[in-house]
Chain A
Amino acid sequence: MIVMIPVVNDNASTQVAANFGRASYFMLRDTATGAMEFVKNSAADSPGGAGIKAAQIVVDHSPGALLVPQCGQNAADVIRGAGIPMYQTQGFDLDKNLEALIRGELEVLTEIHSGFHDHGAVK
């Protein structure tokens, strides 16, 4: 299965990015062969709506799953609209997370935050 993960750098020793919409890159990883590819996240420097644009990039690569530490409501609407399952990463170590996914230990991301719009103001 090809999975997609927001990451900090475009090299094999990179880590999971803490933020989905403004992650620098997305890694495409084949869990069977370990093959990896990087996609620059052109949404990272958007003035607004980065989560939506980043989610569009993910959806357009139609991965089998998305691994993320957290995800905002708007981005989740897009990802779910495409029927891509989301799993919540544990810590920022990439390989450990992939191993956990294969062992079936990563949980489906259920907690969607309302986004950090307006600096996280409560709506």
Chain B
Amino acid sequence: MKVAVLSGKGGTGKTMVSVNLASVSGCAAYVDCDVEEPNGHLFFRPTNQEEESIMVRSPKVNDDLCSGCRKCVEFCRFNALAYVGGKLLIFDDLCHSCGGCLLVCPEKALTEVEKPMGKVQVGSSAGVEVLTGILNLGEASGIPIIHRLLKKGQNLEDQGREIFVDCPPGTACIVMESIQDADYCLLVAEPSVFGAHNLAMVHELVTLLQKPCGVVLNKEMGEENPSRDYCLEKNLPILGEIPFDNRLGSLNSMGTIAARVQDNYRQWFDSLLETIRKEVGHEKITHPQR
């Protein structure tokens, strides 16, 4: 089972929910796909950590061989190439490493060079495998790191672990990649108009990708909640509500996993996980093609 935890904005509680779910699972891997600011490791403090560098390829031109035919410039749909003043200009930041320019070059003037763009760390914390993706400062896209993380996550799922993917905030490409293989999407929402708007954005995304989903209403204050109104209006299942609690806030701020230290939170996340397992099982029966 692979559960992706996401939200339309930062700070709703994605990491808090995913680290706690992974902690109560009994046999889990936590995958931090928020590669621009991974913070799950602050809670897990994984040990025996191994690190792997993630490389990307980009083209390099041999000016002596380039005939200026521009086939590569026309081919590149990301416009990472331009031909100016008798020279090929290459914009690495826009390159998606597809290698197409090398294939279309009739003069074989292009070769590929590799450079590191981030890393993946794997460690463990009280039985939970902790996978962290880290994008180097200044890099434009973390997608290659997500691919590596999800591949490692898949291996761990094949070994019988439940996978909890902590997604980047928002609805951009990097989030779409992160939830691509998820069996279930858990949307975490805040009780505000802004929160409801961001919930609507992620809901639209998961609907587009035909992912079954449910909502956790976080920081619930027992008052008006536009996010709850949205769920009721759209018939979105609310899997749980976490009341606003100063103690939970301070546990989080100290990097403590609430379910590991407080019985009430362990029970709460246990029952949330049970609900998710049922939802996923139910989905597998009603949508056997997934």
- Residue ranges of A at the interface with B (Cβ–Cβ < 8 Å): 43, 46-50, 52-53, 55-56, 59, 74, 77-78, 81-83, 117-118, 123
Contact = CB atoms under 8 A, between A and B. Distances in A.
Contacts of B254: none
A108 to B, nearest CB: 19
Given A117-B93, A117-B140, A49 B79 contact: yes
Interface-central residue, B81, B82, B94, B138, by most chain A CB under 10 Å: B82
Contact of B79 (A48, A82, A118): A48
Given A81-B87, A81-B89, A48 B94 contact: yes
Contact of A59 (B76, B81, B84): B84
Contact of A53 (B79, B93, B140): B79
B71 interface: no
A50 B140 CA distance: 16
Interface in B63-89: 73, 76-85, 87, 89
B91 interface: yes
A50 B91 CA distance: 12
Given A48-B79, A52-B80, A82-B85, 6 more contacts: A47-B77, A49-B91, A52-B94, A59-B84, A59-B85, A82-B84
Sort chain B's interface into a size bin: 10 to 19
A48 B78 contact: yes
Contact of A56 (B78, B84, B93, B94): B84
B79 A52 contact: yes
Contacts, number: 51
Nearest to B137: A123
Contact of B73 (A47, A48, A56, A74): A56
Give me the 4 closest cross-chain CB pairs, A-B, nearest first.
A49-B79, A81-B84, A53-B79, A52-B79
B36 to A, nearest CB: 9
A3 B130 CA distance: 58
Nearest to A56: B82
Given A46-B79, A49-B80, A50-B79, A83 B85 contact: yes
Contacts of A82: 84-85
A52 B91 contact: yes
B138 A123 contact: yes
Nearest to A80: B84
A115 B73 CA distance: 20
Contacts of A43: 79
Given A56-B84, A77-B89, A81-B89, A118 B140 contact: yes
Interface string B136-147: 001010000000
27 contacts: A46-B77, A47-B78, A48-B79, A48-B94, A49-B91, A49-B94, A50-B79, A52-B80, A52-B81, A52-B91, A53-B79, A53-B82, A55-B82, A56-B73, A56-B82, A56-B83, A59-B84, A74-B93, A74-B94, A78-B89, A81-B82, A81-B87, A82-B85, A83-B85, A117-B93, A118-B140, A123-B138
A74 B83 CA distance: 13
Contacts of A81: 82, 84-85, 87, 89
Contacts of A49: 76, 78-80, 91, 94
A52 to B, nearest CB: 5
